[in-house]
Amino acid sequence: MGFREILIKLPTDYDDDSLNREIEKTLNIKRFTKVIGKKSLDARKKNKIHWQLKVAVTSNELAGGERPQTSILKIPYKKRDKKAVVIGSGPAGFFAAYTLQKGGFKTILVERGKDVIQRKADIDFFERENSFTENSNYAFGEGGAGTFSDGKLTSRTKKISAEKAFILQTYIEAGAPEEIAYMTHPHLGSDNLLIMTENLRKMFIDRGGSVIFDCLVSDINVGSGKVKSLESSLGTIEGDVFLFATGHSSYETYKYLIKKGVQYRNKNFAIGSRVEHHQELINEAQWGCTSLKGVKAAEYRLTSSADNELPVYSFCMCPGGKVVPAAPYKDVNIVNGMSLYNRNSPFANAAIVAGINLESILKRPIDPLESLEWLEKLEQSFHIEDFRAPASTIEDFLRGSNSGNIQNSSYPLGLINYNLSELLPPFVSHALKRGLSDFSRKLKGFEKGNILGLESKTSALIQVHRNKDGLADRFSNLYINGEGSGYSGGIISSAADGIKGSMAIIRDF
Ligand SMILES: Cc1cc2nc3c(=O)[nH]c(=O)nc-3n(C[C@H](O)[C@H](O)[C@H](O)COP(=O)(O)OP(=O)(O)OC[C@H]3O[C@@H](n4cnc5c(N)ncnc54)[C@H](O)[C@@H]3O)c2cc1C
């Protein structure tokens, strides 16, 4: 049996038969099996947009050829009597708990929010009645922050290939489309994420794991460099090793961890707003036509930099998506983006953010608690009366004018016409103006969209002092992983960081 890996270009609306014919023609063979290794859209030339596929072909009609090695995560199992407690059921916490359970630990996953079905009902109620539910919203609840998201599975880190392969395989077992294994820009959509989150929990429980919902961990009891137990809304929780994967929205968690001796430092982060356009405008600008058979919706990724200025870039672009009210607490107002698997809403949105370092902007050293307070206050200032999003057209924002001509929006709780320069810190607003002018030159019609709300959750603004696996400095059994640790951002890198913590626990306990 021989093996070849080939690159094939196909029209955007190709089907499986045309792919097979192309393989037959390229390799001059009739019988074979194939596995798509990579699939990406090449839209560099608008009149020649096509898919580019890397296909692994196995056939008796081929001789020789070497299969590429794939990294596999090996989780060593041992029967153990130690109890591991994981706090937070987002990607980092879930994968940490799942890995620990596979490694033989008695594992408890503790989550402040509700299970994903009840959480969905609470979010629907919020969007219908403008009535916010504490601990069960876009930020908190089973599955973590990205459960109701576009579910983009891209990650820039190259050092996590074994973890990433394990995450994608586990997602596929839980019902994710198989294409996530080979698309260069894979995404799940909120509809798949909802089903998968429930299935992942069942897979964990079937292996003997336990999940406790509606359980807010409110403190740690510390002695001799160890966490002895946790305090929670449901009472004291005992354990031998504790892994916090509470994300970057859980401000009270940061505060009690810091109070109990966990050390943090400031890090660079980014702040801005979301922009929204009609998807057809983005399709036209990127493809030269309003729709393209075989491709869902056009994406963009934009960056703008200038000497001695803050870098500005687009982040978490959601084609065919919706801008959502992503507040974790009732007195703050922030936005984020999501989409369904088909990405078929008439709107495209993305965060446009400026990268900042608070200490260099405020020109003095600041304590991590002060940074948190700074951000909290900013998030509160966007909660003007309720969860409507302050907004204007991008053109108005650039000119500093107020035409009141806001475009239609997918944002479910309504927009208030507002000059965002009055709400954003001046250095952010200044940088966004420069970036948005630049983007309006790069992407035709960009200035025609809306700019709305505050985007403050691209990554954590503080970072814990820990070793590479997540073990917090000065503690022997406290791991801090995922986005809240300040070492990861996004679904894949946070899940991978959770796995790293759990693999270290499997090794060391
Ligand atoms: C609307 C939206 C869209 C997004 N879209 C994408 C995307 O398309 N692709 C992407 O890669 N990333 C996306 N993200 C970011 C991504 O969701 C996060 O990077 C990722 O979820 C971080 O994982 P985590 O497990 O570290 O933390 P989180 O997902 O934040 O999970 C933390 C969990 O801990 C729980 N928790 C917090 N404090 C406590 C406590 N004290 N006691 C008990 N439980 C607690 C929370 O309820 C939560 O479930 C999106 C985020 C949002 C909000």
Q: Which residues neighbour 19 within 8 Å (Cβ) at sequence distance 6 or greater?
A: 8, 10, 34, 53, 55
Tokens 């792919």 sit at which residue? 19
| CATH 3.30.70.2700 assigned to 2-59 | yes
- Identify the top-confidence range among 42-46, 212-216, 302-306: 212-216
pLDDT at 355 over 90: yes
Task: Name the β-bridge partners of 420.
Answer: none
Cα angle 96, 99, 105; round to 5: 100
User: Beta 389-393 vs 415-417: how paired, if at all?
Assistant: parallel
- Token pair of 164 as six digits: 């990433």
| Confidence (pLDDT) at 153 | 96
- Token pair of 226 as six digits: 């160890």
- Token pair of 376 as six digits: 């909290």
Query: Which stretches within 237-312 are classed as H helix?
Result: 251-259, 279-287
Flag the least confident range among 57-71, 161-175, 201-215: 57-71
| Confidence (pLDDT) at 335 | 98
- Token pair of 419 as six digits: 């000059």
Radius of gyration of the chain (CA): 24
CA of 490 to the centre of ligand 1 (A): 8
Cα angle 71, 73, 77; round to 5: 150
| Confidence (pLDDT) at 257 | 98
Q: What is the pLDDT of residues 12-21, one digit of tens each?
A: 999 999 999 9
CA of 46 to the centre of ligand 1 (A): 37
Q: Which residues neighbour 407 within 8 Å (Cβ) at sequence distance 6 or greater?
A: 276, 277, 278, 393, 448, 449, 450
Distances (CA, A) of 302 to 251, 272, 289, 315: 31, 14, 20, 8
CA distance 437 to 49: 27
pLDDT band (50, 70, 90) for residue 1: confident
**Half-sphere exposure of residue 391: CA atoms within 13 angstroms, side-chain side:** 28
Ligand 1 contact via 150 beta carbon (within 6 Å):
yes
pLDDT band (50, 70, 90) for residue 413: very high
| Confidence (pLDDT) at 142 | 98
| Confidence (pLDDT) at 42 | 95
Mean pLDDT of 200-207: 98
pLDDT at 307 over 90: no
Q: Look at residues 132, 91, 86 and name the one whose alpha carbon lies nearest to residue 112.
A: 86
Which CATH architecture does the domain made up of 83-264+462-508 adopt? 3-Layer(bba) Sandwich (3.50)
Q: What is the pLDDT of residues 89-130, one digit of tens each?
A: 999 999 999 999 999 999 999 999 999 999 999 999 999 999
| Confidence (pLDDT) at 67 | 78
Nearest CA to ligand 1 atom 19: 490
Distances (CA, A) of 428 to 227, 352, 384, 411: 40, 10, 19, 23
pLDDT at 345 over 90: yes
Atom of ligand 1 nearest to the CA of 483: 26
Contact 286, 350 (CB under 8 A): no
| Confidence (pLDDT) at 410 | 98
CA of 491 to the centre of ligand 1 (A): 8
Atom of ligand 1 nearest to the CA of 216: 42
Q: What is the pLDDT of residues 358-373, one digit of tens each?
A: 999 999 999 999 999 9
Q: Look at residues 358, 97, 140 and name the one whose alpha carbon lies nearest to residue 248.
A: 140
Q: Which helix (H) or strand (E) holds 35?
A: strand 33-42
Give the mutation target among 164, 250, 481 for probing the ligand 1 site: most ligand atoms within 8 A of CB.
Answer: 250
Residue 414's SS3 state is coil
Residue 69's SS3 state is coil
- Token pair of 469 as six digits: 């696996």
Ligand 1 contact via 113 beta carbon (within 6 Å):
yes
Q: Where are the domains of the chain?
A: 2-59, 83-264+462-508, 268-455
Mean pLDDT of 178-197: 96
CA of 90 to the centre of ligand 1 (A): 5
Ligand 1 contact via 319 beta carbon (within 6 Å):
no
CA of 247 to the centre of ligand 1 (A): 5
Ligand 1 contact via 339 beta carbon (within 6 Å):
no
Ligand 1 contact via 167 beta carbon (within 6 Å):
no
- Identify the top-confidence range among 67-76, 234-243, 354-363: 234-243
Ligand 1 contact via 217 beta carbon (within 6 Å):
yes
CA of 145 to the centre of ligand 1 (A): 3
Q: What is the pLDDT of residues 421-435, one digit of tens each?
A: 999 999 999 999 999
Full-model pTM: 0.96
Distances (CA, A) of 246 to 142, 218, 457, 474: 12, 12, 14, 20
Ligand 1 contact via 141 beta carbon (within 6 Å):
yes
CA of 92 to the centre of ligand 1 (A): 8
